[in-house]
Amino acid sequence: MNKIMITAAICGAEVTKEHNPNIPYTALEIAKEAKKSADAGAAIIHLHVREDDGTPTQSAKRFEECISAIRKLCPDVIIQPSTGGAAGMSDSERLQPLSLNPEMATLDCGTLNFGGDVIFVNTENTIKNFASKMQHLSVKPEIEVFDRSMINTALYLADKGFIDQPLHFNLVMGVRGGIGASLSEFDFLVNSLPEGATYTGTGIGKSQFQVAAMAAIHGGHIRVGFEDNIYISKGVLAKSNGELVEKAVRIAKELGREIMTPAEARALLGLKVSK
């Protein structure tokens, strides 16, 4: 079976040290968590950034500071900035990390209820604008999918020339307001992807390693990390993102999948050489 690519989503925008004291905020903390993840087998670091007090930000300056810190500790890893930011941010705020000309970035392809009064808004025009900017800069989009309709949106955008083929998806499962994380729902999403596409499976909370196993079995790739889950096992807080990556690696290897290096992941995704 083909090799597997592992992404570590090391801090996110919402989880805090009150949830798990090991959540990184500062540039040095973020870099150290990236290093632990890369050493454990992650080829990609999915990156949100925070102010030192934990406040989420999309500031290009803060992204540059954190990316520089990561590069000093693990120069080969792929760094994938989020353009999702945090709920309530404007489009112009969210787009700031693209000014740093990353190899790839996330492209959310739909609006989602995040619970209570929180809505993560992505209008069709927002999605087209983000996709166009990524295409212009030769930034590979990772298409974020929280439900089947978002695959339809991505296929429409590809057909209209806003996204270049081949497509790479991140199937995010288990978010309240989005698709669940059952095997039937996983099959539904995977069977809806276009020929030639690649995908990563992301399980939220208790579904993290269930989705990891399903993706490993079915030829997909895996994302783990504090953004999505803070526990290494039921009721036991993870000590680091590296510990979560190590568990994903064990699952993948038990299922016959060897782990991709960053160079192999770049080749799979067709990434440009970062500057």
Domain spans, the chain:
6-269
User: Do 139 and 98 meet the contact criterion of CB atoms below 8 Å apart?
Assistant: yes
pLDDT-derived band at 114, boundaries 50, 70, 90 = confident
* Neighbouring C-beta atoms of residue 21, cutoff 10 Å: 10
Domain spanning 6-269: CATH superfamily: Aldolase class I (3.20.20.70)
Which of 104, 80, 77 minimizes the C-alpha distance to 262?
Answer: 77
Structure tokens, 266: 């770049």
Q: In whole angstroms, what is the distance from residue 264 CA to residue 65 CA? A: 26
Which residues, 6 or more positions from 273, have their beta carbon under 8 angstroms from its beta carbon? 103
- Average pLDDT on 140-158 reads 98
pTM above 0.75, yes or no: yes
User: Do 181 and 204 meet the contact criterion of CB atoms below 8 Å apart?
Assistant: yes
Which of 190, 168, 186 minimizes the C-alpha distance to 178?
Answer: 186
58-113 confidence digits (pLDDT tens): 999 999 999 999 999 999 999 999 999 988 899 999 999 999 999 999 999 999 99
Structure tokens, 38: 């890369």
